[in-house]
Amino acid sequence: MGASIQDVADRAGVSIATVSRTFTLPDKVLPQTREKVLKVAQDLDYTISRSASALKSGKSARIAFLTGGELDSWYDSHVLAGLNSVLHDAGYDIALYAVSDTQERHAFFSDMSIKRNADAVLVVSFQIPCTEADKLATTGIPLIGINTEPIPEFSATVGIDETSCMRLIINHLVNLGHHKIAYVCLDPETEHFKWNGRARLQAFHSICSQLGDQVSSTVVYAPKDDTRADFALSQLARLDQYPTAVICMNDEYALPLLFCMQRSGYTIPRDVSVAGFDDSTYAREIGLTTIHQDPYEMGKSAAKTLLKLLEGENPDQNVQIQPSFLAVRSTTAPPER
């Protein structure tokens, strides 16, 4: 067990209050006493409780991480690691909150005690209505969106250019000779809960529309659970014309669908090309053509912006677009039919 504040006080021959003031109000302690307390604290490997220091400052020293995805997902875990690499050294902890439906989201933003429990809120991978964001805005704490569409209530947002990324994939497929392209995704408004995929879906519709007769496009909605690949494959089989290329909303959809197709007798990419989004774990090893993005760097960027906001400064950019590119690999090729 580590040394306690009482241990430091006893060794230094001072009161517990003096030890506390040495860390929280050093100017109120005589220099020689302060030096003695700090020397004893160092010898005992003692650090004052962060929560105690936070209580004194009126801050919680805690950032709320609110996600609509799985906390252990590739994307969220990398964003979280990037955030922590900056916020930990700045003295902040991260509190994790997962919301999966409208009711949970509404409950979070209606709970005004969040102001006492967090100094800022990060919204990751889902949309929030302006009415709920307004409730948080009344508390005066910063609200940052990561991988979500910007709204005026956000203090800042960090993400990729969804339209440009989708254009890269579609142009790549069209240049290979594909004209029948399907997009597999989660319904972005499942049970009125708006996931981050809406902008990506809108980009698919818009770009295919711009290409006119060059592309025959269709959208297949698949659930977020473990049945998504089998369900998507069954829906693709029902189409009047089977697509020669399939774009998936992310690698979590693309990789299972790829394996499901192979088990069903399809040869990839000879029979059908498959592309994803994210460049997540195993995408390179498997050879998946996908959009590369770096959620770790997104987390770092969001954290640096957040620290500026907490210091009362304005961010350099309210909408930050992170670098991304198309990683062309072995799952896309010219169609044979």
* pLDDT tens digits, one per residue of 205-244: 999 999 999 999 999 999 988 999 999 999 999 999 999 9
| 273-319 pLDDT per residue, tens | 999 999 999 999 999 999 999 999 999 999 999 999 999 998 888 99
Q: Where are the domains of the chain?
A: 5-48, 60-159+295-321, 162-293
pLDDT at 113 exceeding the cut of 90 = no
Q: Matching CATH topology for 5-48 and 162-293?
A: no
pLDDT of residue 60: 78
Q: Which of 36-45, 53-62, 104-113, 209-218 has the highest mean pLDDT?
A: 209-218
Mean pLDDT of the chain: 88
162-293 CATH, one of 3.40.50.2300, 3.30.830.10, 2.170.190.11, 3.40.50.10490: 3.40.50.2300
pTM: 0.81
HSE-CB at 263 with a 13 A cutoff on CA atoms is 9
Q: Which homologous superfamily is 60-159+295-321 in? A: Response regulator (3.40.50.2300)
- CATH topology for 5-48? 434 Repressor (Amino-terminal Domain) (1.10.260)
